[in-house]
Structure 1
Amino acid sequence: MDLKFFRSDRNLSLLEENDTQHRFLQPVWDLRLGFEDWMTSPLFPVFLSVGFYFLCNIPYTIVDLYFQDFEIVKRFKIQPEKRVTWPMMRKAILKTLYNNLVFIMPTMIAQWIWVPPTPFPRLAPKFYDFAYQSVAMMMIFDFQYWFWHMVHHRNRWLYKNFHAIHHQYHATFGWTTQYLHPWELVTVGFFTTIDGWFFECHPMTYWCFMLLNVGMSVEAHSGYDLPIFPHKWLPIYGGGPKHDMHHMKPLTNYQPFFSTWDRLFGWDCPGISGGGVKGKRLLAWEERRRGQRINKHATELMGGTENGELVPDKEKKRN
């Protein structure tokens, strides 16, 4: 075999070399070169996800701690009367670190020990595959979590034992995104993983899907309604206003990102706009439901917090 037909640095044939030239994402994928040993580790996705989660929250943290009383900030805050404090943030951050260290890292370490690393493909994904698989996985994950979320709200036992911790705040802020029961965190991780397996997608596609998932989740919990957010130009996207409303009216808006399934089943509720403004659609929604009978479970869901903190059952009985 004539070795001059191969690139010595990447062991690519001429056919692969020509294919590389037509791959739009190849320059990005080539950035991995020299880091493969670390990036093929099962620990890499965990560090990537958690690191990106903290990175996404930094801007909101700075604004919430130092600028939340500025009028320009209140103009875009969904519930401007609700203050975010450092103790609230610290509690959520510690919960995130605890869940990942105790429940996620051991699984990844075990996989690192017993499962051999999978070599990376030499070529980047084709842009078409990258785009359609990313969108498809987001839509599938949105349905998976919508169903899980809905079931854990409609069933009192599941809600009380697993999902109630996430609803300790009526007004969300970025760090509440992963303020979760371990069962919910593991479930979200499971959905994210099997979606990538189903499509047998390229590692680059899977990582971008994972990061997009994290970024969209933080945006939905940010508590802000900014002009650049997707719900401003994509009608089926819920975003921060819809999810913030879910924390105020927990039997509405179950979808994490979009609003198609909620609309289909009648669980869609318009959100409050920046500055705490109720739009015509929300006022009409409230008028249609005024006087409707609310069951005991719904009352418990909507009345279980005071000033952003969960009220224990014993204390509620005492009151």
Structure 2
Amino acid sequence: MIVTITPNPSLDRTYELSELARGEVNRATGDRLDPGGKGVNVARALTAAGHRTAAVLPLGGAPGRLLAELLHRQDIDVAAVPVAGDTRINVSVVERHGPLTKINAPGPQLTAEESAALLGAVRRQAAGADVDWLACCGSLPRGLAPEWYADLVAEAHLGGARIAVDTSGPALLASLAAGPDVVKPNLDELAEAVGRPVATLGAALDAAERLRELGAQQVLASLGADGMLLVAEEGSWYGTAPVDEVRSDVGAGDASLAGFLGAGGSGPKALASALAHGAAAVRLPGSVMPIPADLEPDTVVVTADVPRELPLGR
């Protein structure tokens, strides 16, 4: 079983447009409402793939009730922690041949009591003997210190569970000292964490090794259209998965993490699964998570011969 923790969940409203015209009335060609937040997306992708999951998240107001209802419809167990503030609503605008525009709300500010209740809910879920992984994902809401994830990592290890952390900035750096089993930065987050540009695959490999020196046991780096990189004590692997047309990349990294954890959470086979899930996700609308029928594993290429000179972010 895999338990996901999303301290700052959301409802995700996605609008599809032919082209966004700033300052004018735009008419959407399609729209959808999905449960959101990185850990929520991981839980959705794992459930779609047939894995047992539970989602721990703070929920408040009418948006929180709707979010819980949407997750229940997808057969996801929800461990809800009631909070006074309303759950946030994020908006994404997807242009057919243009960039993705996102507006992320800050979310509610958690009190000390709500923070303690959230940690208690995680403890109760993690106490199960069949829990293989905890996945802590996304930004921390106002009211939680950057060290909150680090405390969670330490508690998970005391209970015998492995833990993945997918966050950024001070929260990511603080978690490293506690030794998470895997961290999953994207290219920008990797560069921010090491304080230097990451323009080639070799630079990404060096940056990932630096995160391992700081405490991460594995680094699963999302490189966007350039693929993914896995760096661990056992070795380093680089992989790609072709995508003919990107429909939406909202939640693609979360689908990748789900694929990685669902395939065991280590080694080249798990990296291949991460790539297949991420590639499938970008071919789907909004933040729809892929099902097994959406995957194209035969198109994934993984190698231990990492091409260090390959430029990134082209």
Task: Give TM-score, length-normalised by structure 1.
Answer: 0.26
Return the structure number with greater helix share: 1
Q: Structure with the greater relative contact order (CA < 8 A, sep ≥ 6): 1 or 2?
A: 1
Please tell me whether Structure 1 or Structure 2 has the larger radius of gyration of its CA atoms: 1
Q: Which has the higher strand share?
A: 2
TM-score by length of 2: 0.26
